[in-house]
């Protein structure tokens, strides 16, 4: 059985990679939408000052007045910062511009690595899953996500040096595990923006699979123009174009995630 899952709390998964533009946000909102579509209750916490997950879900500025910044700094209870996404079963804690300064403000706070974990205690109880969309850095924001989470999902773009980049992340996860969060696991690695016309994608994918084995999801997210168009419409690609290859890949990924979760719980 899963040792570090709170008796009745949600399963908390951080979506992290210190590299920008690898598909963290896209994976967070589309995996969340696909899980909600099969009746899971899902909360997405936008922990990136850029707020791409919030924008991508179509949330405007005045819906973000209470946001993850206030939660981290203890100025708001987490439950008070949760807003509906417009999609049944899917809610969000949005990000706000103040979050850009949070890294610096957190430095001066006691137990600064535990702010999100503390905020989640007793909160988000109605949810099956909490997905945390991390910023593209391994600073205090991502650290808070890794300390609060039970597992990390790593989106990995199939490009040259992909493995080098991920080794830094893996070392960070190991350190967090040792110092702050012994139960932390790599839940899975998902290959994103896969280009079938590109031999390099294939080579990188087989290198990553050789190295990480079963941690790598069978589902590969293809590079698909519909995925890149969806955010400007304020919608996950699952709502923007359900039949697109990108949307269907996220449906498959959600199925695989649920299968792994069932196996891990058995």
* Interaction of residue 17 with Mg ion, rule CB under 5 A: no
Total binding residues toward ligand ADP, as defined by CB under 6 A: 18
* Interaction of residue 150 with Mg ion, rule CB under 5 A: no
* Interaction of residue 139 with ligand ADP, rule CB under 6 A: no
Q: What is the smallest separation between the CB atom of 195 and ligand ADP, expressed in angstroms?
A: 9
Which lies closer to ligand ADP via its Cβ, residue 76 or residue 224? Answer: 224
* Measured distance CA(92)–CA(66) in Å, rounded: 11
* Interaction of residue 23 with ligand ADP, rule CB under 6 A: yes
* Interaction of residue 25 with Mg ion, rule CB under 5 A: yes
Smallest Cα–Cα separation from 51: which of 41, 62, 43, 59? 59
Q: Which of 95, 223, 247, 254 binds ligand ADP (CB under 6 A)?
A: 223
User: Checking DSSP bridges between strand 151-157 and strand 42-46, what pairing results, if any?
Assistant: unpaired
CB under 6 A: which stretch of 107-115, 141-149, 167-175, 217-225 binds ligand ADP?
217-225
Is 130:12 a contact under the CB 8 Å cutoff? yes
Which lies closer to Mg ion via its Cβ, residue 25 or residue 66? Answer: 25
* Interaction of residue 224 with ligand ADP, rule CB under 6 A: yes
- Give burial (CB, 10 Å; 0-12/13-18/19+) of 111: exposed
Q: What is the smallest separation between the CB atom of 19 and Mg ion, expressed in angstroms?
A: 10
Q: Which of 11, 24, 40, 70 binds Mg ion (CB under 5 A)?
A: 24
The tokens describing 208, both together, are 């990553």
* Interaction of residue 95 with Mg ion, rule CB under 5 A: no
User: Which residue, chain included where needed, has tokens 């981290």?
Assistant: 72
User: Which residue, chain included where needed, has tokens 């916490």?
Assistant: 45
Q: Which of 17, 18, 52, 150 binds Mg ion (CB under 5 A)?
A: 52
**Residue 23's binding partner, choosing from Mg ion, ligand ADP, none, with beta-carbon cut-off 5 to 8 A by kind?**
ligand ADP
Q: Which of 11, 14, 16, 24 binds ligand ADP (CB under 6 A)?
A: 24
CB under 6 A: which stretch of 18-26, 67-75, 88-96, 172-180 binds ligand ADP?
18-26
Q: Which residues bind ligand ADP (CB under 6 A)?
A: 20-26, 52, 136, 192-193, 221, 223-224, 227-228, 231, 246
């Amino acid at each position: 059985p899963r040792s570090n899952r709170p008796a009745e709390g949600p399963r908390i998964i951080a979506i992290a990679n210190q590299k920008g533009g690898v598909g963290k946000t896209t994976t967070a909102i589309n995996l969340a939408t696909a899980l909600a579509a099969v009746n899971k209750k899902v909360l997405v916490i936008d922990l990136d000052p850029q707020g791409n997950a919030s924008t991508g879900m179509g949330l405007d500025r005045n819906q973000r007045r209470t946001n993850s910044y206030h939660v981290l700094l203890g100025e708001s209870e987490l439950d008070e910062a949760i807003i509906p996404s417009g999609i049944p079963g899917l809610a969000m804690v949005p990000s706000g511009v103040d979050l850009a300064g949070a890294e610096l403000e957190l430095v001066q706070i006691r137990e600064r690595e535990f702010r999100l974990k503390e905020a989640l205690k007793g909160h988000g109880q109605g949810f099956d899953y909490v997905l945390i969309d991390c910023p593209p850095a391994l600073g205090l924001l991502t650290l808070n996500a890794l300390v609060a989470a039970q597992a990390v999902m790593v989106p990995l773009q199939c490009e040259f040096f992909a493995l080098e980049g991920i080794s830094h992340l893996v070392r960070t996860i190991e350190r967090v595990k040792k110092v702050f969060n012994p139960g932390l696991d790599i839940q899975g690695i998902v290959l994103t923006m896969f280009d079938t016309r590109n031999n390099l994608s294939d080579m990188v994918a087989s290198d990553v699979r050789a190295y990480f084995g079963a941690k790598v999801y069978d589902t590969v997210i293809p590079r698909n123009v519909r995925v890149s168009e969806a955010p400007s419409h304020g919608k996950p690609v699952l709502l923007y174009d359900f039949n697109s290859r990108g949307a269907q890949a996220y449906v498959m990924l959600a199925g695989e995630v649920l299968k792994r979760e069932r196996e891990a719980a058995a």
